[in-house]
Amino acid sequence: MGRILCNSHGASGVVHVSSDIAADMKEDAGRLPMFRYDIDWLGDGLPDISYFVSADIAKQSGLPEPSDTPFGPDFEEAHAAVFDGLVPVCEKCFDEYLNRTALPARPGRHAASAFHDPERIAVIPIVTTVQYPSLAAAFQAHSVRIADWGYMRCREADLAASGVVFFDDVEDPGTCRRAAFAGRAGNLIVLTIDVASMRDVVLFASDRRIDTNRMWRDALPVEWSGWIEAFDIVYFGKPT
């Protein structure tokens, strides 16, 4: 655990580190342009979503480079081995970065990824798309088993005006799940699920409240009550 400070926006927080997550982050850092990490920006003991980007992306987008980082020395000393060559950025820093680039945010580990790249995104038809008023309604309508889940941030410019956009998982583009999505900017929960009548179905839930403090975990919470009602638009689709 270490403290982190963003002088650009006055944000400070505590980085929550576990040995298994740190090992995964080291591995990801060698092959991914960016990844996320749990930081408690609000001081309530719960991890808030934050991001770390590679030095190359930082240089291209105007974010501070490792040699010129605005973050405090306690953090750098505690996590130099884990984040060697990477730049931590707070939410506002990352929002500014998104506004300056064509790359949408990469979510966390084991999740579908959206990259603004014609090689990775294809607009293709789907067999079935059903819209539910809430995540709770979707689970009431279908008996599902959660196969995978993730978190994604999207900008309006990254969403298709019409049709369906399929996002590939960058970590395994050959065998990844494909997800049907059409909607608006905001925070999304991405669930890859198995349903009796449909296989490899992916559900997207949009959170209008932009409240993510309790969302991100390595596995889905055992108790769904208390946060599933926060999601007001759900898309249920199976690719062809």
pLDDT tens track for 153-175: 433 333 333 233 333 333 333 32
Query: What pLDDT is stored for residue 14 in this prediction?
Result: 52
Query: What pLDDT is stored for residue 201 in this prediction?
Result: 54
Q: Which helix (H) or strand (E) holds 207?
A: strand 201-207
**Is the pTM for the entire model greater than 0.85?**
no
Whole-angstrom Cα distance, residue 207 to residue 229?
Answer: 9
Query: What pLDDT is stored for residue 182 in this prediction?
Result: 33
Number of neighbours of residue 104 by Cβ within 10 angstroms: 20
Whole-angstrom Cα distance, residue 145 to residue 127?
Answer: 20
Q: What residue ranges of the chain have pLDDT lower than 70?
A: 1-240
Query: What pLDDT is stored for residue 130 in this prediction?
Result: 61
Query: What pLDDT is stored for residue 232 in this prediction?
Result: 53
Query: What pLDDT is stored for residue 13 in this prediction?
Result: 54
Please, where are the H alpha helices in 73-224? 73-79, 91-100, 135-141
Helix (H, G, I), strand (E, B) or coil at 22: helix
Phi, psi dihedrals of residue 108, rounded to the nearest 5°: -85, -165
Query: What pLDDT is stored for residue 171 in this prediction?
Result: 36
